[in-house]
Amino acid sequence: MELQGRVVLVTGAGHRLGQAIATGLARAGAHVAVHFHTAAEGAGETVRRIREMGTDAEAFPADLRDPSQIPSLIEAVVRRFGRLDGLVNAAAVMRVTRWHELTPDQWDEILALNLRAPMFCAQAAARHMEEGAIINIADGSALKPWPDYLAHTVSKSSLVALTRALALALAPRIRVNAVIPGPILKPVHWEEERWARLIRRVPMSRAGTAEEVVHAVRYLIEADYVTGTVLIVDGGHHLL
C-alpha cells in the first residue's frame, strides 16, 4: 500500500515517538489524523509541521482509556478525510508497577490504554477500511519481562499476541503488524546516567533514532505481503 494520498490515524501523536511517526508518514505523502489526549499543544505542532510539508492533517482529542470514545474518534476521522487506510497504535503509558505495590486501579489504567485501546481502535478502524494496515507499537518488555514495570510488561506482551490474532482475523483485507522499538528516547523519569548505562550495553553502541522507527512503520504499511510480523528495531538489545 503506497502511502501517497492515504489517510493514516496515529494515536498518541502529540509528543515523542507518536509525533515522529505522524510527521514521518506525512513526509512519505500520507494525510495524517493526529490523535491526542492531553498533549493539545504538541498535537497542534504536529499538525503544523505536516501541513507545512504540503499534506493534510487534523488533530482529534480522545481519552482512549474510555472505550466509548473510540468509535466517535474513528468516525470523526472518516468524516474529516473521507476515508481511513491505516492505523498506528502508538498511544501508551509506562509506569513503575512492582508486584508488591501494584494496585487494581493501576493495572486497569495501564491495560486500558496499552492493550484494550489498540484492540478497539483496530475494531472500529477496520469497519471503515476497504483495505489497509494496522501497526501496533510494542516495546522490549514484550520480549523480556521488566519486573519493575509488571503491568506494562503484561500489556505489551499481550499486544504482540493481539497483533498476531488480528492479522489472522482481518486477512486478507487488512494487514496487522507490530514494531518493537528499543532504546530510542530516554524515558522522562530516568536519570541521564541510567540511560547511558543502558546504551553502553546495546550491541550497536548507540541509541536508536525516532526516524529509524518511522522507517520500520512505513515498511510495514507499504509491504503488501507482510502480516502478523513483529519487527524489532533495537540495535540488537534483545539479544542480550
Alpha-carbon gap, residue 11 to 42, rounded angstroms = 13
Average pLDDT over residues 108-124: 99
| pLDDT score at 187 | 86
| pLDDT score at 144 | 96
Asked whether the predicted pLDDT for residue 121 surpasses 90, the reply is yes
Residue 237 backbone zone (phi > 0: left; psi -120 to 50: alpha; other: beta): alpha
pLDDT in tens, 132-176: 999 999 999 999 999 999 999 999 999 999 999 999 999 999 999
Alpha-carbon gap, residue 97 to 186, rounded angstroms = 18
| pLDDT score at 236 | 97
Q: How confident is the model at residue 189 (pLDDT cuts 50, 70, 90)?
A: confident
The answer to whether the peptide bond before residue 172 is cis (omega within 30 degrees of 0) is yes
33 three-class SS? strand
139 three-class SS? coil
Q: What are 220's three cell numbers?
A: 510495514
How many Cβ atoms sit within 10 Å of the Cβ of residue 60? 18
| pLDDT score at 188 | 85
Asked whether the predicted pLDDT for residue 204 surpasses 90, the reply is yes
The arrangement of secondary structure in 7-239, i.e. its CATH architecture, is: 3-Layer(aba) Sandwich (3.40)
Higher per-residue pLDDT: 177 or 187: 177
| pLDDT score at 136 | 99
Domain residue extents for the chain: 7-239
| pLDDT score at 225 | 99
